Amino acid sequence: MRVLSVASECAPLVKTGGLADVAGALPAALRAEAVEMRTILPGYPAVMAALAADAVQVMTEHDLFGGPARVLAGQAAGLDLFVIDAPHLYRREGSIYLGPDGQDWPDNPERFAALSLVAARIGTEGVTLGGQLWQPQILHCHDWQAGFVPDYLAQAGGDCATVLTIHNIAFQGLTGHHMIEPLRLPRSRFHAEGFEYYGKLSALKAGLMRADRLTTVSPTYAAELMRSEFGMGLDGVMRARRRDLSGILNGIDETAWNPANDPHVPEGYRHPAGKIPNRDALRAEMGLPDSAGPLCCVVSRLTEQKGLDLLLEALPTLLDRGGQLALLGSGDKALEQAFRDAAREDGVAVRIGYDEALSHRLIAGADAILVPSRFEPCGLTQLYGLRYGTIPVVALTGGLADTVINASPAALDRGVATGIQFHPVAADPLAVALDRLCDLYAQPDIWAQMQANAMRQPVGWASSARAYAALYRDAIATA
């Protein structure tokens, strides 16, 4: 099968979140399923710099929302790419979504409509590669930035199948209805069964209404999206399309995240017999004293979604039991300051910012990783924790519910527990979970069994790749 993945970001070339990890991992994972996936990306400076020198021009656009553009076919970071070289849209330093003032680029609607329009054109016409026509059978669209692909495809008369993956329904690509004509969309679709959303134009809703198949990144999140508290105003759309919706878990890069041979972790952190040297090295690096309780880590954006305000409330429970916290993250300025203030207490160390190497050392050295998210489509940090035998303490939501086996009495009796879940998502239940964590940590035999279970848990892409390939086959057969 030939699949074109339409994404606004793709690891390791450009990344702000989990969408990039999925877009970067799927092509290699799908090769085993006889799927040839190419990825189309905007020509941001980082992408253009990484593109191989032998990239070839395969398409041109005289006027792509305000200027000329060309499409280059080439390789970078082991990925087969189409890159939209449109300097008037993408040649900007800094964030791919935000301007220097921290606000969305005002022309984001045009920037990502351009991505969708070019992808639809490739789906309709194909491109010539090495003297042969390459035309996808599937356009796999990621989030709102690719939401207009099905509409542009229909306008062009294309007949390839479309799949839209929702990575986070909170981001919907909203703009004023005055943009319908400038974005080259039919005003006849501006209604409740089209891309109208409370008087605005929604790129995500456009894709949700018209793509042949919908997916999201965990089975539980797929079910949650049909409820008003999770659907962000689109729960009715999700209920209407429930038969076309699948939840397919994300995986992680098991080469990059390998406790036996982690390039970001110095030799002092690696120890096949257990975590003691890793934990000692991490405490020394973070300036934490020895302690009898578990060393917990957080690697996260500091936002309300991630529930880290709840952790601040519950933190005394952990510290009173001799536990510790090492946190790496950035985001909401009030939360950043609150954690800086918390670091004045013994047993708390905080680094504001992002450091890829430190994130690996935190997960390699900590006893537990805390993920108290209010909602979490899939989550990756709990998967990294499982891989390293770092016990996840997670809210019972989304992919956290699907990937962690709670240490209930039944699961402990059967010897299958891999972590601790709490519900409802509030400070008091989190405090109870932290108490439970300390109780289990104080029982070495049970704790060692949980660590072993966690490290045996499949966290790669193999089963998810099989699910995507089956979905593609079904979409092609029924499109």
Q: Which residues of 334-354 are buried (b: 16+ CB within 10 A; e: fewer)?
A: ebbebbeebbeeebbbbbbee
Average pLDDT, whole number, for the chain? 96
- Give the lowest-confidence range in 30-39, 211-220, 276-285: 276-285
Domains of the chain are 2-251+462-478 (3.40.50.2000), 267-456 (3.40.50.2000)
pLDDT digits (tens, 9 = 90+) for 93-109: 889 999 998 899 999 99
Of 301, 316, 314, 431, the residue nearest 373 (C-alpha): 301
Please report which confidence band the pLDDT of residue 150 belongs to, taking 50, 70 and 90 as the band edges.
very high
306 belongs to an annotated ligand binding site: no
For residue 91, pLDDT beyond 80: yes
Q: Which residues of 10-30 are buried (b: 16+ CB within 10 A; e: fewer)?
A: bbbbbbeebbbbbbbbbbebb
In DSSP notation, 334-401 reads HHHHHHHHHTTSTTEEEEES--HHHHHHHHHH-SEEEE--S--SS-SHHHHHHHTT-EEEEESSHHHH
Model pTM above 0.95: no
Looking at residue 138, the DSSP 8-state letter turns out to be E
pLDDT digits (tens, 9 = 90+) for 353-409: 989 899 999 999 999 999 999 999 999 999 999 999 999 999 999 999 999 999 999
Backbone torsions φ then ψ of 174, nearest 5 degrees:
-90, 140
For residue 454, pLDDT beyond 90: yes
Is 403 in contact with 250 (CB distance < 8 Å)? no
For residue 461, pLDDT beyond 80: yes
Cα torsion angle, 43, 15, 173, 125, sign: positive
- Give the lowest-confidence range in 110-114, 264-268, 416-420: 264-268
pLDDT digits (tens, 9 = 90+) for 378-392: 999 999 999 999 999
Question: Angle CA(355)–CA(267)–CA(440) in degrees, nearest 5?
Answer: 75
For residue 270, pLDDT beyond 70: no
pLDDT at 267: 74
pLDDT at 383: 97
For residue 272, pLDDT beyond 90: no
For residue 271, pLDDT beyond 60: no
Please report which confidence band the pLDDT of residue 273 belongs to, taking 50, 70 and 90 as the band edges.
low
User: pLDDT > 90: what percent of the chain?
Assistant: 92
Rg (CA), the chain: 23
Cα 416 → chain centroid: 27
When pLDDT is averaged across residues 337-351 and rounded to a whole number, the result is 97
pLDDT at 17: 84
pLDDT at 122: 98
pLDDT digits (tens, 9 = 90+) for 204-247: 999 999 999 999 999 999 999 999 999 999 999 999 999 999 99
Task: Please give the biggest Cα pair distance in the chain.
Answer: 69
